[in-house]
Each structure stands twice: as structure tokens, then as C-alpha cells.
């Protein structure tokens, strides 16, 4: 049946078999057809809300500002000559890479700490640590904004309580960058934690027992057992998070609006400013698509590595 043959009732001679049904009927009874039909709503959603806007954005990015003329890759070439856009590229890379590294490290540590806790306490902590990831980021970022608020920063209030000078968290370029990365890490670390915890739980205890018999230290167990067994999930999580972090919008938009002096703009916020607020939709599309080829190549390499390792482990 797995090959998609037509279903017939066993033991019924062909002579008394039901009359031959139409091609459409046979097609409908194939498993692959059924599967296709069942995935059709999802395909429609992806087609309508992902594929279509993506190709439309590519089309828009190749038009002139008034959207009356095809200009090829001129918008992309123009962007590369702009100092502000060069900052945006640089800041997006700093933002995404440092946030993903921090999230991965924190998630890794938290997952290990949770893994060592007894099951009862673990559930409680797991739930609490997931809270930042569960709250809609627009709302939690607003709470962070209040903490960093230029005039009424609660963090500054505490700093002044211990005699330290207040910090212009969102007013100084360096601190503003730190603030947006911090909030992104706070929001995203639980995702890494839960993924790594799931991966840790799937590592067979026998491997650790064998390593212990061989006299492996804790560090050696981590390096030669845990990390190799988690490598695939680490790669996929980092890839996923990197793409999402590069595409971030809400945190920067709410906290700094790209300022001060454009020093916290990332692709999403700059694209919005150029495309929607300044009325240059083609250039905004070009900004938003700029990282796509690089991330696509990165994704291909990561996923190839994952596939290769999966085959090795299966073999």
C-alpha cells in the first residue's frame, strides 16, 4: 500500500470486483493524493503569506523609487554606497551574532543546570525560565523600555541608590546597542534552553556510564559525549535563531527606533524607515532582502552538515 497501489478488498475475485472506477476516484484514493490534499491548506498559507510576498519583495526591490521603471540591481548597488547602510549591515551582524552566541551559551548552561535538577523541581524552574519566551516581545520590550527610560529608568534609580552615576541606556550609542542585544538575549535564551534540554534528555545514559568507566572527567564527558550528541540540535537552533535575529524588528523599534545616530538600526527597522516612513518602498525592499543570499548559503551549509551527521549516526 505504501507504493500507492489501488486498494482492493482481499479475496474478492476480479470477476465480482466492483465495476472499474474512474481515474479521478482512483487518484483520490491514493495515499499520496490524500496527503497532498491535507497539506494543501498549509501550502496555500505558505504560498500566500511567505512565497508570494517574498517574490513580490524581490520584484519591488528592482523598481525605481516611483515604481515606474525596472532598474535591476541598482537599489542594492546604491545601498552599498551609503554610509548609513554600511552601519546598518555592521550593526545587524553585531546584533545577530553576539545575541545568538549569548543566547546559545546561556541556554546551554541553563539546560545543564535544569538537567541536573530532580524532576519535580525541574518542572517548576523550566516553567519559570520559559516565561520571557512566552510573553509577546512587543509587551516585554515595553517593560524593558521602562527600565531603560531616559527620564525614569528603574535601573538608574538602583544605580544611584548605590552611589553609581546614572547611565543614558538608550541615549549613548554603545549603551543603546548593549540594551537591544540584552533584551534580545533575555527573550531568546529560553528557546535555546528548552531545545538543549530536550537534546540532553535524549543522550543515552550508557554513554556517560561508559565514559565514567573509562575515567573521563566531567569536562571530557561534556566535550566528547554531550556536545557531539547535541551537535545537530545546536546547529539547527543556531541557524534558526540567527535568521530570526537578523529579521528582528520589534525590539529595536520599541527601544531605540534605530537611534541614537542610527547606531542601533538593523535591517528590519531601517527597511521600515526607508520603505514605509520615507515612501521609498523599492529601496526598503532592497534593504530587507539584503541578507537573504548570505543567510541562504549559511543555511544550506548548516543543513548539509546536519544531514551528513544524521546519516553517520544512522549508519
Q: Which of the 8 DSSP states describes residue 20?
A: P
Quote the CA–CA distance of 107 and 224 in Å, as a whole number. Answer: 19
- Does the protein bind other proteins through residue 142 (CB under 8 A)? no
- Does the protein bind other proteins through residue 82 (CB under 8 A)? yes
Quote the CA–CA distance of 38 and 182 in Å, as a whole number. Answer: 42
Q: For other proteins, which residue of 36, 56, 70, 157 counts as binding (CB under 8 A)?
A: 56
For 265, the 3-state DSSP assignment is coil
Q: For other proteins, which residue of 36, 70, 78, 125 counts as binding (CB under 8 A)?
A: 78
Q: How far is the CB of 52 from other proteins (least distance, A)?
A: 7
Q: For other proteins, which residue of 62, 129, 176, 266 counts as binding (CB under 8 A)?
A: 176
- Does the protein bind other proteins through residue 273 (CB under 8 A)? yes
Q: How far is the CB of 249 from other proteins (least distance, A)?
A: 11
Q: What's the chain's length in residues?
A: 315
For 249, the 3-state DSSP assignment is coil
- Does the protein bind other proteins through residue 150 (CB under 8 A)? yes
Quote the CA–CA distance of 166 and 152 in Å, as a whole number. Answer: 11
Stretch that binds other proteins, among 2-10, 14-22, 23-31, 163-171 (CB under 8 A): 163-171
- Does the protein bind other proteins through residue 48 (CB under 8 A)? yes
Q: What is the dihedral of CA 33, 36, 38, 42, to 10 degrees?
A: -170
Q: What is the dihedral of CA 251, 254, 258, 263, to 10 degrees?
A: -60
Instruction: Give contact residues for other proteins (rule: CB under 8 A).
Output: 48, 52, 56, 64-66, 78, 81-84, 149-152, 168-173, 176, 256-262, 272-274, 276-281
Amino acid at each position: 500500500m505504501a507504493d500507492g497501489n489501488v486498494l482492493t478488498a482481499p479475496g474478492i475475485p476480479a470477476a465480482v470486483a466492483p465495476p472499474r472506477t474512474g481515474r479521478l476516484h482512483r487518484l483520490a484514493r491514493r495515499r499520496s493524493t490524500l496527503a497532498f490534499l491535507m497539506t494543501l491548506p498549509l501550502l496555500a498559507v505558505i504560498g500566500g503569506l511567505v512565497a508570494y510576498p517574498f517574490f513580490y519583495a524581490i520584484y519591488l526591490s528592482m523598481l525605481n523609487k516611483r515604481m515606474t521603471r525596472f532598474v535591476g540591481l541598482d537599489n542594492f548597488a546604491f545601498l552599498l554606497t551609503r554610509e548609513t547602510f554600511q552601519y546598518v549591515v555592521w550593526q545587524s551582524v553585531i546584533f545577530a551574532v553576539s545575541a545568538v552566541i549569548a543566547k546559545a551559551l546561556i541556554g546551554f548552561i541553563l539546560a545543564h543546570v535544569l538537567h541536573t535538577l530532580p524532576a519535580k523541581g525541574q518542572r517548576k524552574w523550566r516553567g519559570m525560565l520559559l516565561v520571557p519566551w512566552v510573553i509577546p516581545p512587543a509587551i516585554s520590550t515595553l517593560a524593558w523600555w521602562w527600565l531603560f527610560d531616559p527620564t525614569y529608568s528603574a535601573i538608574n534609580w538602583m544605580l544611584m541608590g548605590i552611589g553609581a552615576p546614572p547611565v543614558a541606556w538608550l541615549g549613548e550609542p554603545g549603551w543603546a546597542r548593549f540594551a537591544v542585544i540584552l533584551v534580545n538575549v533575555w527573550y531568546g535564551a529560553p528557546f535555546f534552553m528548552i531545545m538543549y534540554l530536550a537534546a540532553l534528555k535524549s543522550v543515552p545514559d550508557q554513554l556517560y556510564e561508559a565514559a565514567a568507566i573509562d575515567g573521563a572527567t566531567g569536562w571530557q564527558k561534556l566535550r566528547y559525549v554531550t556536545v557531539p550528541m547535541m551537535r545537530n540540535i545546536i546547529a539547527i537552533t543556531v541557524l534558526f535563531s540567527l535568521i530570526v535575529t537578523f529579521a528582528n524588528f520589534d525590539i529595536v523599534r520599541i527601544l531605540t527606533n534605530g537611534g541614537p545616530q542610527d547606531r542601533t538600526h538593523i535591517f528590519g527597522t531601517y527597511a521600515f524607515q526607508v520603505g514605509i516612513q520615507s515612501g521609498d518602498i523599492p529601496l526598503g525592499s532592497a534593504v530587507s532582502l539584503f541578507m537573504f543570499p548570505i543567510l541562504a548559503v549559511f543555511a544550506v551549509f548548516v543543513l548539509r552538515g546536519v544531514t551528513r551527521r544524521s546519516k553517520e549516526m544512522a549508519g
